Structure 1
């Protein structure tokens, strides 16, 4: 009895300690959201980079909100923050998607792209009814899309591209009424594109079903997707039948990509079809009509029959013609000739009166005002040729330069000066690059010009090529493109004389002369610069005589005047440099030392404005290169961050990959204030405009060049911002 009491007391205290320990552990245990997330860690192969992706995922934590890749938010009425985002992308993780993620009822964004997840999407995932963005592209997922996917009432973004999904595209997608982006490219989906679902998706902005095994015809009701922007991509499938004419009702700024299918018949010529290039329809053997170089058989038959039938009909008519009727026909013919002569005379004097540009409306000339700047597409469609006759006289005069010691040739008749005047003028070095040294030269009349020294090489044969190229550049006349005024060719010197743009280039305007960020550029000014550059580049692509590809769009090649208008410079120079055959920077002087080389200008850092495909050795420039580069320039205007800064530079503006950084920010739905230049945060009214330009820039910087819009579309989209 004496021993029992102490023993019982010991047992009692033991149970108290155990109970208190259990209660303490329960009080500090991981939240249910954390336990659900641990299922994802368990579902990943331990051979993957688990340590890097889940390094701080500790089951002893009370909350998962500090774990890498996890975003939380305080929910009204709940004591603990809840998980709203999972972003573990590009970590080379191999595993499956656990069904337990469906218990995260407040989860909004699931971003597991660019890993090696396999298996199917568990239908239980769609119990997480707050989900509005699912990014699973770039994995090895398979199976079909569960019909229950539209149990997610807020689903806006679904990107399952570059996987191995198969089966039909579910008709249940019509219940995803909030869907804005449906990207199912590069999978194994088969069957027909379902009809009867697209009318319900009135918020859809992007549709990409390319590179699958889809067959059948294109549904008519796709034409009901009035909110589509960018590119409607149905390429690399097995679609057949005619292209529905109703697709012409889609927005005129939309680009089509229907190549590599089995489509047949004539391409419709209405609405948005009139803005498409031939690449949109390539590799459809039975497709014909504009813009393809293949006329339709019915048209050929009609044209071949008419010459044969017309003479017989004409002969039959002539047999019965009376002398009086013949006289009447002759009088009518004479009157027609006279009328044609009057029209020709009228056009001649009209062109002379309007020598500064082309009229789009009958009232406004191309080249004078901001309003007329928008006319260039109209001018191009109406056959605007930039008055090529102006170049005939300089071309004849230039022949002398090839024969003798050299001669200055003015391309613009209204811009004349003598070579001696250029030699005597004051000169200042503006810069030096692979395209030669550029000087500012002030002429005797006080007008400044920019003179670019190209090099010393080139024989008589190369001289003719040089003149042809210079004439093509000289025909380009647009308010947002630097105007070439004259050129000089001699055996030991080649010069280009163009307008001097007074406010430097976009790099100096954005960063200042010292390289520091500028705080003076308002949103309206940046938008003006972006719009002007887009207009100039679109003109070079669509309307210039040579349909120029610039190949090196970056802020230093966008010049800014005192009114902050943009001017595209340095287009067409690659060809001229190859003709002269010299490295311009290796030459010792300028015109025999008349304009000495005053200082050394550092060459630009590595060009991070180039498109991904442009970085491959031996690749040839394309217009889609320019679109990508322009998109990076837009991002720089928006963020104030330069993609050209050296990784060793210590600065808060350093962004190793500006495009990737912005895309990640949008995928993770970071606040706009985290990405936009802090200077612009003061202009609260501009938030919608800034967001719209971000979307334009992201479309331009798509990795796939076929998805990028044309510069014409980019310019039109920017013009709508702020109006």
Structure 2
């Protein structure tokens, strides 16, 4: 019986759901015993997903909804007056069930994943006072009559959604509205005039949208306004004088817009204002002296404008001021004693102005430093014209100062030893000055230091070993100084180090082998010094860039392409006075010393002699090989064969030439291979030349430079023939090969459009690749790799210079595939040194011998290539004092919601966001650190095709 009743009630809900579409009031006639609130909430629940079962208590058998989780009732009539489902992890869309809640006063569905659009009929607003739909994924335009019946509405929050279009003009129908927050959406256009007539409004936040137009003078009628946020929009014009009539304003954020003109004098009446943020606009003129009358100010940010002149002395009246940012303006003069009354300052930024004067007589003057700024945490005076020396007395700043930046000035003298007393300091930048003397040992006492930048000074002496006590250190930049000595082994204790630049100094000696244990290194630049010996083995140093070690003639190792001399065991010399019973004393020989060599010593000497003779013999043989290589190349055009029918083999001097289709008919001889004018480029495996057949068809010839690692002729030919059988429209076709023991050539089709690297980074022909061509290149490359993987071949060498562009069709063609199959002696470490040019493309598993190299390595390289194509940036870019890793940069932008900013700026917005953003995300997925998290290339092709034609994917899924 109970089951039957439940079934009947379930049927009632189904019928009710249908009737709700026609008339929400018709459901009463279906089941008069079913409470409207219960029915409305059950219908609402039917339209959403509840993965965590938070709404499991919502039961249609209840007499009322007062026991429903998230619901609150009026005890007089047991009707729902509040519904709060914040953070319930709900998804789905807002149906019409909520319209049944006739007594609802507050609706809060914040921090869920609700999608779709909303209409004015979803929630009856006649009695609604609070509406909070923030932090969801709602989208679409708000209907113009959305606020038509909102006479009781006091608070609306639609922030952090995806709403688009103009804001509804019906907002003026909400005379009681006190708070409006629609920040972080995609709203655009001019705001409705009715907004500025809402005299009860106290909080207005329109930040992070695309609104434009000017702020009308009518803002002066919003007497109750306490907070106004217009950050990151397109507002323009002047700041109206009427803003000074909003006497209750506490916070003003008009940053990152296009406001112009000077600050209106009426703002001095806003004596209750604590936060004034006008950064990144086009405001100009002097900073007015009346600014000191805004005595409640705690934050004053005027950075990124066009203010000029000096600092007003009235700044000292702002005793509550905690953050002062005047950076990136045209301010001049000295700091003098302008801030002597600002005893509450925590952060001060004067950077990128034209201030002058002795740094120790300004903010570091005695009245400030000695007890006046005990709480100062950040001080940035960089990129000005300050002179003088760094003061030596920091006194009460020792436990508070976190960041000190005095870079890009004209400071002289030495680095004071008192820097070490700043126990909380984590960022110190004194670069690009005229500092001299040595780096003080006391610097090691700054045990919280994370970044130390001292480049481009005149520092001398050695690096103090005490630096090893700064365990949090991640960045150490000491380049362009006169530093000498060896690198202290204590640096290897800094386990968090990521960026080290010691270039352009006079360092010498060997690098500590323990540096290879630094697991987080991303850059270690020691170029242009006097280091010697072998580079550390393992870890980061297995893939270090040749640029980072250049200019050290005595260094050896794979990165500098210079082999280290062999270390021979020293011969063992017996003590002539030894009484070892096994040997016994030997009689003296007149005229000779009693030095007797053991058998092992004789063996060692003999081995050394053999090695010397071997080296001489190899040198002679190499000379002969070079001369025979020339003869072999000359004979290259003389012999031919069809691999699938016959092949012509000559003697050892002429070599063997095999063409996979037709007879070779070269119009040129040896000079086409050896002439520098015909060279197309060089890579890790060899140089590539262009030559012509007599029929006018061009071919590319790769001359392998790893002959000593090539397998036997039979195995070499077998592998090349396999590669010759691979045919795909996005792969460069292998046409044939040439073999002698000392010279191997690979012949392939010639692609005339140049490589992708030149198109992206060298502006081929002054043109910029449009988005559609970039997408086609990504898709074509993915298809090529998918085909290779289907044939069981790993490319190993994915990079933009190996993606060629057909000048006729514009299609990409992937080159240099499968070459590692020809070289069985290349393990991953030797391989990585042979293809140093792929730095940034190489999957992390290359650094670990125990992890199997699979097709997922190609997927990683492809992911980096995708990001390179979309952003137009190189995988790794070496800046003057920093290294930018493309994957990390894009991943950080995605996490901060700035992924669209990563798209190549040269496209000037001429790209579809709905394609670019998913492609970027796909690139990041392909570069996952865990190989199993990367998709297969076949899956990548499918995803790209869905991104290009989403409607087709939907049709297939349906």
TM class by shorter chain equals 0.3 to 0.5
TM-score (normalizing by structure 1): 0.40
Where is the strand percentage greater, Structure 1 or Structure 2? 2
Higher relative contact order (CA 8 A, sep 6+): 1
With the length of structure 2 as denominator, give the TM-score of the two structures. 0.30
